[in-house]
């Protein structure tokens, strides 16, 4: 039952009270931390967002409006839709400027040492170098800064846990192995806290933990650039890479697994569409036990280019499975004769061919069903040469234009070719009698009968032969009554 306006308002007020209570608790824990308060407010909205009636399928935001997900309700806007706010590029430029000079009422404490940068968290300036926290407005740790800037190479000697240590008496290998790793200091109120919120936002958008957790390093590098959540999400989902202020270019893990599918696309798919297709395809390949070749980057790119969805792929795989169970040799042979299936390929290759779009596959499947019915009646004289294959494609297209699907076309072809099989030889004999031997070939008569069965058009010659055939029947019947004209009165040319 739909909610009334009063019920919606009451639900919104209840939600606001819960959010405000959560906010007060967070502020009581740390009155000076607006970042924690903001995080608590977002989490409160996400955690307490009610499930709305099924007919709406949306979540109530604190502004009283309904949204498609808890995250959108928390942010107060639809993710992915244009809003009246600065673009991502503009916000990045603003953030970069603030990081270098600060704001009018809160300038940076002092010029940072070479390579270091300021980040503003909850109104407090934090100094970082290479992603590690090194100090604040009161000063920075020069020793740590120098260590990070000029890492010391530590040579491991006589280390029994290092099989490559030349001084390890347990190993005769003389390779000199060194370690240039330096420890990284993490500010607990800096990026390490924000990454939790950023991951929660991505999970709320429907992305799984696998891609999110494997992208932690990339996401942390974005937060260290003082990017807000919206910018970080946008870069992660919609960009191939991002150049840090240090000049280092980092590639988005999301692009490597999903985003690359938009390469060369005129109308790019959204991040959610790409993600849902790839993950859905993985499930389908596993479900039907199909070859992993259908999950190759090349195959996936072709599927996306041809607008094949995970639902389409599932239908294709199931159709291939059912056809394989039915084991119809005529259908498989028809696909090969039409050139839709290679000699060494199987039905799965035909149905899941990534180079074939949805409409083309439907056409090929219907043509295969049509042609199979002709092949079943080859013993009755039905011809299936290459020229016939081309005509079958045109006849199938005509039936599709009438709105018939694959099954209906198969049934129509079965009935039509059976009528042709019953008529072809008698029709050929009639032509030889009235038009002369070889006046019309079996191919000509078959083509005319196909037009009659599948297009509803009858040739003038067919009409004339049918009329002559009727006259013969009447005359042969009259002979028994003493009024018949002898059959011998007809010459081979059809003259009396």
Residue spans of the domains in the chain: they are 5-75, 89-254, 356-484
User: 179 or 355: whose pLDDT is higher?
Assistant: 355
Q: What is the mean pLDDT of residues 236-246?
A: 93
**Mean pLDDT confidence for 456-469:** 74
What b/e readout covers 403-437, taking b as 16+ CB neighbours within 10 angstroms?
Answer: ebebeebbebbbebbbebbebbeebbebbebbbee
| Per-residue pLDDT at 475 exceeds 60 | no
Residue 42 has pLDDT above 80, yes or no: no
List, for residues 147-204, the tens digit of each pLDDT value: 777 765 444 444 445 455 444 445 444 444 444 433 343 443 444 457 888 888 899 8
Length of the chain: 496
Other Cβ atoms less than 10 A from the Cβ of 224: the count is 20
Instruction: Return phi, psi of residue 125, to 5°.
Output: -80, 135
Segment 313-324 mean pLDDT: 90
Q: Residue 313's pLDDT is what?
A: 94
Residue 457 has what pLDDT?
Answer: 86
Name the CA dihedral angle for 308, 309, 314, 317, rounded to a multiple of 10 degrees. Answer: 10
Identify the band that residue 100 occupies on the pLDDT scale cut at 50, 70 and 90: low
CB 361 within 8 A of CB 353: yes
**97-101, 140-144, 165-169: least confident range:** 165-169
User: Tokens standing for 210?
Assistant: 């696998």
Q: Is 139 helix (H, G, I), strand (E, B) or coil?
A: strand
- How high is the pLDDT of residue 193? 52
d(CA 463, CA 468): 9
Task: Express the helix, strand and coil content of the chain in percent, nearest 5 each.
Answer: 55, 5, 35
Q: What is the pTM of this model?
A: 0.53
Inter-residue contact 421 to 453 (CB < 8 Å): no
pLDDT of res. 325 = 83
Q: Report the pLDDT value the prediction gives residue 22, as an integer from 0 to 100.
A: 61
3-state secondary structure 374-437: HHCCHHHCCCCCHHHHHHHHHHHHHHHHCCCCHHHHHHHHHHHHHHHHHHHHHHHHHHHHHHCC
pLDDT at 361 over 70: yes
| pLDDT tops 90 at residue 434 | no
| Residue 476: predicted pLDDT | 53
Report the C-alpha gap between 33 and 312 in whole angstroms.
Answer: 50
Computed over every residue of the chain, the mean pLDDT equals 76
Q: N- to C-terminal Cα distance for the chain? A: 84
């Amino acid at each position: 039952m739909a909610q009334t306006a009063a019920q919606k308002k009451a639900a919104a007020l209840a939600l606001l009270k819960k959010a405000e209570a959560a906010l007060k608790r967070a502020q009581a824990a740390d009155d000076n931390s607006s970042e924690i308060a903001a995080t608590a407010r977002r989490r409160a909205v996400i955690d307490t967002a009610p499930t709305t009636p099924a007919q709406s399928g949306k979540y109530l935001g604190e502004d009283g409006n309904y949204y498609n997900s808890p995250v959108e309700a928390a942010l107060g806007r639809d993710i992915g839709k244009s809003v009246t706010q600065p673009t991502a590029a503009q916000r990045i430029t603003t953030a970069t400027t603030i990081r270098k000079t600060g704001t009018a009422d809160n300038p940076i404490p002092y010029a940072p040492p070479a390579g270091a940068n300021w980040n503003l968290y909850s109104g407090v300036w934090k100094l970082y170098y290479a992603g590690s926290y090194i100090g604040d407005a009161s000063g920075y740790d020069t020793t740590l800064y120098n260590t990070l800037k000029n890492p010391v190479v530590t040579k491991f000697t006589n280390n029994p846990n290092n099989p490559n240590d030349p001084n390890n008496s347990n190993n005769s290998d003389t390779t000199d192995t060194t370690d240039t790793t330096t420890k990284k200091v993490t500010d607990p109120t800096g990026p390490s806290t924000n990454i939790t919120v950023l991951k929660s936002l991505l999970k709320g958008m429907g992305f799984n933990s696998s891609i999110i957790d494997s992208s932690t390093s990339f996401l942390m590098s974005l937060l260290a650039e003082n990017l807000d959540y919206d910018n970080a999400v946008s870069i992660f989902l919609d960009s191939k890479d991002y150049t840090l202020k240090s000049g280092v270019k980092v590639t988005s893990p999301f692009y490597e697994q999903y985003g690359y599918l938009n390469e060369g696309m005129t109308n790019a798919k959204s991040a959610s569409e790409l993600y849902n297709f790839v993950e859905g395809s993985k499930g389908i390949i596993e479900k039907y036990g199909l070859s992993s070749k259908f999950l190759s980057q090349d195959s996936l790119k072709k599927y996306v280019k041809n607008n094949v969805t995970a639902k389409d792929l599932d239908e294709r795989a199931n159709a291939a499975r059912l056809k394989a169970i039915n084991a119809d040799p005529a259908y498989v042979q028809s696909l090969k004769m039409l050139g839709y299936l290679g000699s060494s390929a199987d039905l799965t290759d035909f149905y899941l061919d990534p180079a074939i779009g949805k409409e083309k596959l439907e056409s090929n499947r219907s043509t295969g069903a049509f042609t199979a019915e002709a092949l079943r009646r080859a013993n009755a004289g039905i011809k299936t040469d290459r020229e016939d294959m081309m005509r079958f494609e045109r006849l199938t297209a005509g039936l599709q234009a009438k709105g018939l699907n694959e099954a209906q076309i198969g049934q129509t072809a079965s009935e039509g070719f059976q009528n042709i099989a019953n008529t072809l030889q008698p029709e050929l004999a009639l032509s030889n009698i009235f038009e002369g031997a070889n006046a019309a070939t079996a191919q000509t008569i078959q083509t005319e009968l196909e037009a009659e069965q599948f297009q509803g058009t009858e040739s003038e010659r067919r009409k004339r032969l049918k009329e002559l055939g009727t006259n013969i029947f009447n005359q042969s019947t009259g002979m028994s009554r003493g009024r018949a004209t002898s059959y011998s009165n007809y010459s081979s040319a059809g003259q009396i």
